[in-house]
Amino acid sequence: MDHQPKFFENLSGTGKAIGVLTSGGDAQGMNAAVRAVVRMGIYVKAKVYFVYEGYQGMVDGGDNIVEVSWESVSSILQVGGTVIGSARCKSFRTREGRLQAAYNLVQRGITNLCVIGGDGSLTGANLFREEWSGLLEELAQKGKIDQEAVKKYAYLNIVGMVGSIDNDFCGTDMTIGTDSALHRIIEVVDAIMTTAQSHQRTFVLEVMGRHCGYLALVSALACGADWVFIPEYPPEEGWEDSMCVKLSENRARKKRLNIIIVAEGAIDCHNKPITSEKVKDLVVQRLGFDTRVTILGHVQRGGTPSAFDRILASRMGVEAVLALLEGTPDTPACVVSLSGNQAVRLPLMECVQMTQEVQKAMDEGRFVEAVRLRGRSFENNLNTYKLLSHKKPDAELPKTNFNVAVLNVGAPAAGMNAAVRAAVRVGITEGHKMFAVIDGFEGFSRGKIKEISWGDVGGWTGQGGSILGTKRTLPAKYLEKIADQMRTNNINALMVIGGFEAYLGLLELSAAREKYDEFCVPMVMVPATVSNNVPGSDFSIGADTALNTITDTCDRIKQSASGTKRRVFIIETMGGYCGYLANMGALAAGADAAYIFEEQFDIRELQANVEHLTEKMKTSIQRGLVLRNENCNENYTTDFIYQLYSEEGKGVFDCRKNVLGHMQQGGAPSPFDRNFGTKISAKAMQWISKKLKETYRKGKVFANTDDSVCLLGMRRRNLVFQPVAELKNETDFVHRIPMEQWWLKLRPLMKILAKYKTSYDVSDSGQLEHVAMHSPKEAETGAI
């Protein structure tokens, strides 16, 4: 895309007033969105107003609509719910109510509204916008405002952000709050699993989602549940029998616990509700299993927002202000949302209509259509769940006579085990014999390889680290031994799950093809490393978990700093030379600065940061947070920066330092990493099957082209297979990072939210797109 970068400096908010409100059910991350709208608004010199208690506050006016400052939104990033309150409002549904609201806004010159809420709140906002000029005329007739005001405030701009834990809004991949709600559910499931293991119990978990099964489906995928009930995909007639057969089969396989997840809106194919109690009674009556019901309820709305939700909401909030500044009387009300990894703007009413279509399809029993309308990511989740949860009887499985080996390479990353589980199960479903290699390439050379079955990987999704064992060793010095093992075990394809070493390893194996025929087989790599430094992929398995660890730690540190006042913390993160964790951690934790290798800095910049913090200490926010990537600069070490800040800040603030270290590699994988690992790995296995068919000639597999050694990565909106040979040109091998990294575009965002003057390239945003109805074909091509 060759275009001149467009910078938002040309967009000025002078003379504009923006009102921000949260409405409908609360969701974690709403505060991060409010904070971003306020700070970005003030940054572009607009006035920003809080509208307290949603539309009710807009109708009541008075103290409910208040101009705010930069400091008004400090310390809210890590708080769940919404600090400006949200209420259901009957009066806004009447014309009188909206007339009063219009009057209250005009009094303060507010003609730009940023609404954070669900589809009901956004529909209300759109109606308000359509009626606006009529409402002003009526106010003028009643003598409440003059004609001058009618002209001056002639049109109302509306931008919406979807805050809803259900992820029930069409057109957006993730709504604000969904990821955090999944964190709450998975925390509970992980805790329940340990007690269920002890007592051989069956647990029925009821999660939120009256009309949308997203939370139930993804949490089932993320914990390997035995059965899931969702409104969009009711079970077939006779499900009671099939479920009980499945549960008793699992018990017979020595599985000590069963988990069944029920969405609160679950129905059968006759639109009759399926409740958690009904499921429990069924299991008890038919199987006599010790069964318990846990209803999660409002726990799912609570707690602190996840790193993903904070970054999502901050990006959306900034995007919303840009959309308001660019708005004209002709721009339709839009929602800012995320598609894949990209911020997009979509016409609000198109999204709302599509969301209502889903409900209509469900009411009319058109369930296949309902799943398709939910969007490609939902459809993919459902297909992956179906693929991994039910093992077909051996007699029904195809037999390909191919042997596929799976190994982990590099440092451990949370989510690796979920990826191995998905690979093994999909491989078995496709008819291959699956082998697990212990301890990476080194273990491979020593013959540490064994067949692995469907049951062997049960319960792996929630386990951190690498169960297979992983080593950083590269294959070059063991080529002959590895080739021997490939021959002895007749391995026809390799799947490597790992970080930069895995990528180097595949390059070495493909280079060795000239000498060893054994390496002329399909090989695929799935990126898994906390550093997120693998070329060819925007995300790697494990980075989200590490980011959450960093964010949680920063929250605690900030809390200790606000107790002691006037304290600055310097925190060192991992990542090798890749600044992803430091930069995104800074965005999610609301840090003042982040030092990274990709953006060189000198003593003058360090000095400027110290001065910036000195100024900050004069305000009511008397604490600072600075992140530093471990290899950002060989001379400006964490100790050096700590000593510099301590010396320069004498008398104004004191300093502490903290090196986070290996805790960033540990812990149970986050819902995102479990889900991403599972889906990307399943897709990689399907690619292997396809390649094996293509390269099988005269009784053996022979693959020696570049496109038979690929890396599967997430690129912007799609999952793409890329030959590792082609990725060489995109790699800085000395520093082990990709030459171009998408997240550097978000760097100015962090600086703006920390009150630095900077320039921000907005070329990527600003185009209003339409809600794409995807064809079934597209679902296969790799949306995640």
Q: Is 298 annotated as belonging to a binding site?
A: yes
Question: Choosing from 166, 544, 552, 673, which is the catalytic residue?
Answer: 166
Residue 719: phi, psi to the nearest 5?
A: -90, 125
In this structure, what token pair is assigned to residue 477?
A: 């010095």
Contact 252, 287 (CB under 8 A): no
Contact 492, 692 (CB under 8 A): yes
Please, which residues have CB within 8 angstroms of residue 36's CB and are 6 or more apart in sequence?
313, 314, 315, 316, 317, 318, 320, 321, 753
DSSP codes of every residue in 211-253: S--HHHHHHHHHHT-SEEE-TTSPPPTTHHHHHHHHHHHHHHT
Q: Is 107 annotated as belonging to a binding site?
A: no
Residue type, 50: F
Q: Is 133 annotated as belonging to a binding site?
A: no
Q: Which among 714, 751, 710 has a CA at the least distance from the CA of 727?
A: 710
**How far is 442 from 683, CA to CA, in rounded Å?**
26
Looking only at the bridges linking them, the beta strands covering 433-437 and 449-451 are: antiparallel
Secondary structure element (H or E) that encloses residue 115, with its range: strand 112-117
Q: Is 567 annotated as belonging to a binding site?
A: yes
**How far is 486 from 480, CA to CA, in rounded Å?**
10
Place of tokens 């929602």: 335
Map residue 505 onto helix, strand or coil: helix
Q: Could you count the other beta carbons within 10 Å of the beta carbon of residue 108?
A: 15
Q: Is 531 annotated as belonging to a binding site?
A: yes
Residue type, 606: L
Q: Is 204 annotated as belonging to a binding site?
A: no
Q: Is 209 annotated as belonging to a binding site?
A: yes
451-474 as b/e: b if 16+ CB within 10 A: ebebeebebbbbbbbbbbbbbbbb
Q: Is 301 annotated as belonging to a binding site?
A: yes
Q: Could you count the other beta carbons within 10 Å of the beta carbon of residue 619?
A: 12
Q: Is 571 annotated as belonging to a binding site?
A: no
Provide the total of helices (H) and of strands (E) in the chain, helices listed first: 25, 27
**How far is 159 from 18, CA to CA, in rounded Å?**
11
Q: Is 89 annotated as belonging to a binding site?
A: yes
> What's the longest Cα–Cα distance across the chain?
92
Q: Is 472 annotated as belonging to a binding site?
A: yes
Map residue 499 onto helix, strand or coil: coil
Contact 396, 302 (CB under 8 A): no
Q: Is 663 annotated as belonging to a binding site?
A: yes
Q: Is 574 annotated as belonging to a binding site?
A: yes
Q: Is 697 annotated as belonging to a binding site?
A: no
Q: Is 717 annotated as belonging to a binding site?
A: no
Q: Is 3 annotated as belonging to a binding site?
A: no
Residue 222: burial class (beta carbons within 10 Å; 0-12, 13-18, 19+)? buried
**How far is 620 from 92, CA to CA, in rounded Å?**
36
Looking only at the bridges linking them, the beta strands covering 731-732 and 737-738 are: antiparallel
Residue 8: phi, psi to the nearest 5?
A: -80, 0
Residue 283: burial class (beta carbons within 10 Å; 0-12, 13-18, 19+)? buried
SS3 content of the chain, % helix, strand, coil (to 5): 45, 20, 35
Q: Is 288 annotated as belonging to a binding site?
A: no
Place of tokens 């009957």: 90
Q: Is 61 annotated as belonging to a binding site?
A: no
**How far is 299 from 313, CA to CA, in rounded Å?**
21
Strand partners for 229: 262
Terminal Cα distance for the chain, rounded = 23
Place of tokens 């191995």: 420
Q: Is 773 annotated as belonging to a binding site?
A: no
Q: Is 736 annotated as belonging to a binding site?
A: yes
Q: Is 374 annotated as belonging to a binding site?
A: no
Active site residue 592: no
**How far is 343 from 345, CA to CA, in rounded Å?**
7
**How far is 211 from 232, CA to CA, in rounded Å?**
8
Which residues fall in the annotated binding site?
25, 88-89, 118-121, 164-166, 201, 208-210, 264, 292, 298-301, 472, 529-533, 567, 574-576, 630, 656, 662-665, 736
Which residues fall in the annotated binding site for substrate?
164-166, 201, 208-210, 264, 292, 298-301
Which residues fall in the annotated binding site for ATP?
25, 88-89, 118-121
Which residues fall in the annotated binding site for beta-D-fructose 2,6-bisphosphate?
472, 529-533, 567, 574-576, 630, 656, 662-665, 736
Q: What residues are annotated to the active site? A: 166
Which residues fall in the annotated binding site for Mg(2+)?
119
